[in-house]
Amino acid sequence: CCMADELLRICREYRHETCGHCVFGHEGSYQMATILEDVCHKRGKSGDLELLQDLAPMMEEQSLCEVGRVLAKTVRQTCALFGDEIAAHYARKVCPAGACDAYKTFHILVSKCTGCGDCLDACEDGAIMGKANFVHVIDQRKCTQCGRCLDACGEGAVVKAGAKKPKTPPRPIPVRRKK
């Protein structure tokens, strides 16, 4: 599993459990959840990990309730152990565990595409390039990861990929007919 995503889940749960009597517990937990939300949804920035690492000890020391202190300690320890994995989200734009949906991409497999155009018709964003009898290609810059192409393809040629991406051509190529 992805440690950034797991830490986000923990922060969301604990955020609603803090007593709300201190700024560090209540606001700190909100800030931690917001930072991790950005990291897990492709909006993370360099410095997010350092911000968490700066906030956690202060929150651990200043929180009035045990919940705020436990959350801060959890975040501090997770950042120390899995900081590289968390940083990969915003530094390399990849979820190393392949768990965060925002980092998954759709691809059309050359070996399965028949060039029928069903995926092309389903894509409302104009992210798929190709024409009849050509292997279609998804432009990752235009793709919004809606999944309509995946649902439309009856051949199973459209796949969702995480950290490991399949090899696909840069532009549409003619379909090879099986003899």
- pTM confidence score: 0.74
Same domain, 87 and 108: no
Query: 116 is in which domain, residue-wise?
Result: 104-174
Amino acid at 37: E
CA 66 to chain centre: 31
CATH of the domain at 19: 1.20.1440.230
User: Considering 29, 59, 91, which residue would you say is the last residue of a domain?
Assistant: 91
Same domain, 9 and 84: yes
Look-up: residue for tokens 């530094």? 91
For residue 167, the 8-state DSSP code is: P
Rounded (10°) angle between helices 23-40 and 3-15: 150
Pairwise CA distance, residues 71 & 48, whole Å: 17
Pairwise CA distance, residues 161 & 107, whole Å: 7
Query: Which tens digits make up the pLDDT trace of 119-178?
Result: 999 999 999 999 999 999 999 989 988 899 999 999 999 999 877 889 999 999 998 766
